[in-house]
Amino acid sequence: MIPASFDYVRPQSLEDALAQLGEHGDDARVLAGGHSLLPVMKARLADPGVLVDIAGIDGLSGISESEDGITIGAMTTHAEIEASASVQGRCRSLAEAAAAIGDVQVRNRGTLGGSLAHADPAADYPAVILAANAEITVAGADGERVIAADDFFTGTYETALGAGEIITSVRIRASAARGSSAYLKAAQQASGFAVCGVAARIALDADGAVERIRVGVTGVAESAYRATSVEDALTGAAPSAESIRKAAATAGEGVDALDDFYAGADFRRHLAGVYAARAIGKAWIRAAGE
Amino acid sequence: MEINISINGESRTFDVEPRTLLVHLLRDNAGLTGTHVACETSICGACTVLLDDKAVKSCTVLAAQAQGCEVTTIEGLANGDQLHPLQEQFWEKHGLQCGFCTPGMILTANQLIASNADPTDEEIRHGIEGNICRCTGYQNIVDAISAAAAQMRD
């Protein structure tokens, strides 16, 4: 399996990359780690005329920590995120999602920005991005802008990224003092992609009541979504195993779920409830204990 | 396009199409057929090589992306007639039957041992999850990697 012919450019600066995208328009695609784009091109499901490889641009990779959060460069690999003490400390669910992607070799090449831009409905990161209320910084011909997680994923393989824009970094605020997060998934046994993946991020007040909670679900619907009914039911009260189970059961309710030979729509909606309960329970125990 | 790449310590230059995959450059242009092609969909791991010391599936890397990088293939592991400990232990422990997956297994294991000199069996199994073997049932592969790690610690 070999992709159709294309031209390859490797700009050394963001400005050059944006200029290349501007020049070639719809015919150009950004190449990050290539672990979503190249398989699609090899299967001839995409045949861009120009690949703009952004691996040569300084400053798009790495993880920096500030007092209130972390900023992760778009070209940072899953392996780097998985192994980062900063990520483990500030947003544990993101490290868990990175570790759950593919296998060692895939995690060595695949990147955060590439995965987000590809927006596979069964990718792991979107659940965490939604639960962590991440901010996605993108660069375009008109400069930089920040896209909120809630606005980013717009459909299957569709995002709020505009024509000619490149994701440059993702910013996530650190967990609250009494807060934590968790990501759990039911993986498709052959591909490893999420049949259902749930990320929960929780902040408790001094009395142990839920001050804030966000729950992101991936793999179930045509795009990752927030289970707001679950969040609303749990906010304001001290949780219990029973209240979490009851609230989480609604995570798949009313969702227009994916339906294929591997997992039917009803099963996926059921999994959403089960995995929401497990992820919230795990985040809660961590938050209460940490 | 022109690609400069170091393969097993030797600097090489190739003229290839941009769409050339690293695995094909290694096999067809460099003549190193120890790197195998099987699923071609980044699942099976038979095409695994080290790219700047990290295990990657060379069927899902463009040769162009390896520009300026160091590639290690199975042909680069032995020191003359002296087998690498991983090669020696795959032989000793019967870690292969048909041998098709073996180059990829060994290079993935190489990265695993480089970051974890004394891996548990569970860590080894987790580390080679991206490499599929249809013959052995994996047990002897795990034994071989464990024995190689021990040999490399000595």
Nearest CA in chain A to B61: A34
Report yes or no for ipTM above 0.95.
Answer: yes
* pLDDT of A290 higher than 70: no
- Structure confidence at residue B88 (pLDDT): 98
Pair of tokens at residue B93 = 């422990």
CATH second-level architecture of A63-173? Answer: 2-Layer Sandwich (3.30)
Using pLDDT thresholds of 50, 70 and 90, give the confidence band for residue A68. Answer: confident
Shortest distance between the Cα of A257 and any Cα of chain B, in A, equals 26
- Structure confidence at residue A190 (pLDDT): 85
- Percent of chain A's residues with pLDDT above 90: 96
Return residue ranges of chain A for CATH 3.30.390.50: 179-289
Q: What CATH code is carried by the domain that includes residue B35? A: 3.10.20.30
Per-chain mean pLDDT for chain B? 97
CA distance A252 to A230: 10
DSSP state of A176: P
For the stretch B124-151, pLDDT in tens is 999 999 999 999 999 999 999 999 999 9
Nearest CA in chain B to A3: B19
For the stretch A210-235, pLDDT in tens is 999 999 999 999 999 999 999 999 99
Q: Answer yes or no: do B40 and B94 share one domain.
A: no
Q: What CATH code is carried by the domain that includes residue B97? A: 1.10.150.120
Going B71 to B73 to B78 to B80, the CA torsion angle's sign is negative
Q: Answer yes or no: do B56 and B89 share one domain.
A: no
* Contacts A31 to B, Cβ<8 Å: 62, 65
Between chains, do A34 and B111 touch, taking CB under 8 Å as contact? Answer: no
* Contacts A53 to B, Cβ<8 Å: 64-65
For the stretch A174-209, pLDDT in tens is 988 899 999 999 999 888 999 999 999 999 999 999
CA distance B108 to B130: 9
Domain count, chain B: 2
Q: Which fold has domain A7-52?
A: 3.30.43
For the stretch B108-125, pLDDT in tens is 999 999 999 999 999 999
* Mean pLDDT along residues A64-74: 94
- Structure confidence at residue A67 (pLDDT): 86
Q: Answer yes or no: do B24 and B65 share one domain.
A: yes
What range defines the domain where residue B23 resides?
2-76
Instruction: Write the residue in B41, B65, B128 that is nearest to A55 by C-beta.
Output: B65
Shortest distance between the Cα of A23 and any Cα of chain B, in A, equals 19
- Structure confidence at residue A191 (pLDDT): 86
For the stretch B9-28, pLDDT in tens is 999 999 999 999 999 999 99
Q: Are strands B70-72 and B48-51 parallel, antiparallel or unpaired?
A: antiparallel
Can you point out the beta strands (E) in B16-59? 48-51, 54-57
CA distance A51 to A67: 37
* Mean pLDDT along residues A63-88: 96
Shortest distance between the Cα of B115 and any Cα of chain A, in A, equals 11
Pair of tokens at residue B24 = 């094909």
CA distance B118 to B67: 33
Pair of tokens at residue A207 = 């009395």
Q: Answer yes or no: do B145 and B95 share one domain.
A: yes
* Mean pLDDT along residues A127-156: 97
- Structure confidence at residue A20 (pLDDT): 98
- Chain B contact for A155 (CB, 8 A cutoff): no
Residue range A179-289 forms a domain whose CATH class is: alpha beta
